[in-house]
Structure 1
C-alpha cells in the first residue's frame, strides 16, 4: 500500500515512478528543475535513470501526489559500489509552492522503508542550505556533515579566458574521438573520481556500468567533453552534460595522479567551455565540494559564482 496522509483538505500519497508513466516522468523532471535549477534534468534523463540503474543500487524514483497533482519527488537507493556495506541515500525535493502538505515526510518515510528492506543502515541526503530545509532534515533525525556549492557562469555574456596552446607533448581532444573504445576515459575517470572529497568511499571498477550510466547517458555530450592527452594517454578531462537546449554542465573535471600540478584540467575545462559557447549554450553549471580547494580555484578563475549551497546530512537507520 502506498504511504498516505489525509485531512479534510487534501489526500497525499506516494508511489514508485515507472518509465511508462510519461506524465509522471515529465512532472518529476519539471519539479526537479523548479526546486533544483542548478542540476540538469529532462524527462528523457529521468526515464533513462530509472530504466538503466544498476541492479545492486535498488534504485527507485518516488513521486508524491495530491489528488492527482505531483507535489514532490525523491530518488533513493543503495550505494552498491562502496566497499562499506549498508549505505544508501534519499534526496527529496518538493515543489516550493506545495510545501507543508506532508509530501516531504511521506517521501522520506517511503524511501527509508525501501532502504531498510535492502539492508541499509546509514542513509545520506543532500539538503539545500535554507533554514526550513535544514529544520526538516533534523526533524527526521538527520545530522549535518559536509557542504557543497552549486556554481553558475553566464556563457552568453561572460568573458571566458582565451584558449591557450597546450604545452609540447599535450593535445586537447573531444571525448567523441574515443567513440570506438572509451575504456581509456573510464580508467581516467575512475582514478580521478576516487580522490574526490566525499563521505562515502567508492570502488570505481565496473566498466559496463560506467558505459550505461555515464557514456551512454542521454545528457552526456562526448562532443563537448574535452580530454588533455599526454603522449597518447588521456591525462585530464572535463566531462560535460547538456539539456540539449541552452544549459550545459560540467559534472566531473579531474586529472590522473601522475599528471597533476601541470594545469591540464584547466586546459581541458577551458576548451570544453569554449566548445559549449560555440554550440549555442548560454548557461554553464557545475558543483564543488566546499573542501575541494584546487577545483574551487579553477572555477573562480573562469568566473563561476556560487548560486546555492547544499548540506550533506546522514542518519543511522534502525
Structure 2
C-alpha cells in the first residue's frame, strides 16, 4: 500500500468530504463541513498562499494538512502547517509525507519559522519533536452539553447596552469588522495578527459557511459595537464559539459574558445540542467565564515551532 500526497481539488466533492471527515475524526472539537473546506481554500487572501494537502492511500483519504504563510502578521517569514491523520490510519507515513511536502512548499515561499498545532498526546508530541519542533504555548478545548446541561439565566443588559445579532449588520458589516480587528489583535498567539483588509475579511470571514449570524451576538454600548461572541454551526446540532472579545475601552464591564450567554441561549433554542470553544491555557479570565457557563475541558493542543534552515 502506497501513500501519496497531493493538493485538494475544490471542484471534486469527494475530496472536500474526505478532508472534512478526516479532520472531524482527528479533531472532533472543531467544526468542519465540505462547504467550509472549499470556502477556506477558495477565499483566503492570496498572499497567504494557502493550501490544503491530502494524504491518500489506495484512493482513501487518511490525512490532511493546512499550509499557509502568515501574511497578516507584521513579522515576515512565518508560516503554519497543521497536520491531522485519521486515528485508525496512523503509522503509515502519511504525517511525515505531509510535513515534508508542507515544509518544502513554505520554504520556497520564504518561510523561516514554522508553527504547528499538535494534540497533546504522547505519539503526536513525539512525532513533532522527532521532526525538530519545540513546544511553545498551549490551548484547551472545552465542551458544553447544551441539551442536558443548565445555562446561567439570561441577563438583562445594563442601561446603555443593547444586544443585537450579526444578522442585524447584514447591510453594513463594517462595524463588526472593526470590532473583530480590534479584539483579534489582542488574542494570545505566537503570531501577531492585523486585520486591515475589509474586502478580504468579508470574503474570508463574513461569508464563511460555518458563520451563523443569527446566533452571533453583538453587544452595543450607546449604539457602538463593544463586544461580541461569534457563533459557528455545522448545519446539524454542533455549535462552536469562533471568537469572543471586547474592545479595550469597554473591558471590565462583563460585556463578553453577556454576549456569549445570549448566544448560547439562542443556540440551544435553535436546536444545538453541544457547544465547543477553545482558550489559551494562560487565559485564566476567559477559562473562568467558560467554566461558569458549564464548559468542561475535553482536550489540550500544543503549539510547536521549528526554524527552517
TM-score range, shorter chain: over 0.9
Q: Deviations for 1:216-275, whole angstroms, at most 9, x for unmatched residues?
A: 000001100001111000011000000011000011000011110000000000000000
Q: Which residue in the other structure is 1:73 paired with?
A: 64
| Distance (Å, rounded) in 2 between the aligned partners of 1:82 and 1:61 | 21
Aligned counterpart in structure 2 of residue 212 of structure 1, from 190, 203, 217: 203
SS of the residue corresponding to residue 227 of structure 1 reads strand
Shift in Å, 1:112: 0.5
Q: Over residues 183-230 of structure 1, what are the superposed CA-to-partner deviations in whole Å (9 max), with x where a residue is unaligned?
A: 001111111111111111112211111111111000001100001111
Give structure 2 stretches of 5+ with no counterpart: none
Q: Distance in 2 between matches of 1:127 and 1:280?
A: 31
Equivalent position of 2:247 in the other structure? 256
| Aligned residues of 1:18 and 1:50 also touching (Cα < 8 A) | no
1:195-234 equivalent positions in 2, closer than 5 A? 195-234=186-225
Distance in 1 (CA, whole Å) between partners of 2:39 and 2:155 is 37
Specify the alignment match of 2:260 in structure 1: 269
2:43 aligns with 52
TM-score for both structures, normalised by structure 1: 0.96
Residue 168 of structure 2 is matched in structure 1 by: 177
For 1:25-174, what aligned pairs fall within 5 Å after superposition?
Answer: 25-174=16-165
The size of the alignment, in residue pairs, is: 309
1:20 aligns with 2:11: yes
2: CA distance between counterparts of 1:277 and 1:222? 15
Answer yes or no: is the 8 Å Cα contact 1:246–1:281 preserved in 2.
yes
Question: Corresponding residue for 1:307?
Answer: 298
**2:110 partner SS:** coil
1:21-47 deviation per Cα after TM superposition (whole angstroms, max 9, x unaligned): 211110000010111000000000001
Please list every run of at least 4 consecutive aligned residues from structure 1 whose deviation after the TM superposition is greater than 2 angstroms.
none
| Alignment RMSD (CA, Å) | 0.6
Q: TM-score scaled to structure 2, two decimals?
A: 0.99
Cross-structure match for 1:187: 178
